[in-house]
A and B are shown apart, each in its own frame.
Chain A
Amino acid sequence: AQSVTQLDSHVSVSEGTPVLLRCNYSSSYSPSLFWYVQHPNKGLQLLLKYTSAATLVKGINGFEAEFKKSETSFHLTKPSAHMSDAAEYFCVVSVMEYGNKLVFGAGTILRVKS
C-alpha cells in the first residue's frame, strides 16, 4: 500500500525567506513522487516530479525537492518565498503497479506574509 504524510497542515513564512514543506511517503514498490499546488477555486498544477532519475528535482517557480530513500522523504523547498506562492501544496505518490492512481497527502497551506 502507498501513503503520504504531510507533516505540517499550515506553514507561515515572510516574503523573501526560505520555504520548507515536509513530506514522508510509504510505498511497497519504487514510487514516483510529485508535488502539486492548488490556488483557490482552481485545479492542481504540477510543480515537479521524481521518477527514479536524479534525487534532486527542480520544478517550476524556483521550487525543488530532494528524494531521500533512507528517510522516505520528499521535502519541497524554495530559497525565497513570494506572495504569489501562497496556496495549498500536495505531496503525491503513485506506483506503476497501480496504474495512474495518485495517492495524495492531506495538503499544506502556505501563507506568505509581507
Chain B
Amino acid sequence: KAGVTQTPRYLIKTRGQQVTLSCSPISGHRSVSWYQQTPGQGLQFLFEYFSETQRNKGNFPGRFSGRQFSNSRSEMNVSTLELGDSALYLCASSLGVGNQPQHFGDGTRLSIL
C-alpha cells in the first residue's frame, strides 16, 4: 500500500510569491492534516480536512489556506510568502476521526529567499 505522497519535495521561492503544496493520502484515508516544522517553533498544526471540509485550524495567519478534493487529496496554499515561512511542511493522513493514528509523508522543504 502506497504511503502518503507529498509533492514537490523541495521548493525555492522568493518573498511575496505564493506557493501550492500537494498531498495524496493513503488509499482509503479520508482525513488529511498539515503541519509546519521549523527549528525554532518545532511541529505546529496548520489545519485538518475531512470529507472536503476543514474541521480544525491552528493559529496561523490567513495567508495559509488549504482544501481537500473528493478523492481526499489535499493542497495547501501560502500567499505573500515571508522569510519566516521557510520550513518543512508535513502532511498526515488517517482513516477518519477519533484519535486514529496519523501517517506522515516525507514533507515538502520550502525555502524562501
Q: Which residues of A approach B to under 8 Å, CB–CB? A: 32, 34, 36, 41-46, 49, 51, 90, 94-96, 98-107
Interface size classification for chain B: 20 to 34
Total contacts A-B at CB 8 Å:
66
Q: Which residues of A contact B44 (CB under 8 A)?
A: 104
* 0/1 interface trace, chain B 93-113, chain A, CB 8 Å (1 if under): 010011111111111010000
Q: Which residues of A contact B33 (CB under 8 A)?
A: 100-102
Q: Which residues of B approach A to under 8 Å, CB–CB? A: 4, 6, 31, 33, 35, 42-45, 48, 50, 55-56, 58, 90, 92, 94, 97-107, 109
Interchain CA distance A107-B39 in the complex, whole Å: 11
Q: Which residues of A contact B50 (CB under 8 A)?
A: 99-100
Interchain CA distance A106-B98 in the complex, whole Å: 24
What's the minimum C-beta distance from B111 to chain A, rounded to whole angstroms?
14
* Contact yes or no, A43 B102, CB < 8 A: no
Give the 5 A-B CB pairs with smallest separation, nearest first. Answer: A43-B104, A32-B99, A104-B43, A44-B104, A99-B56
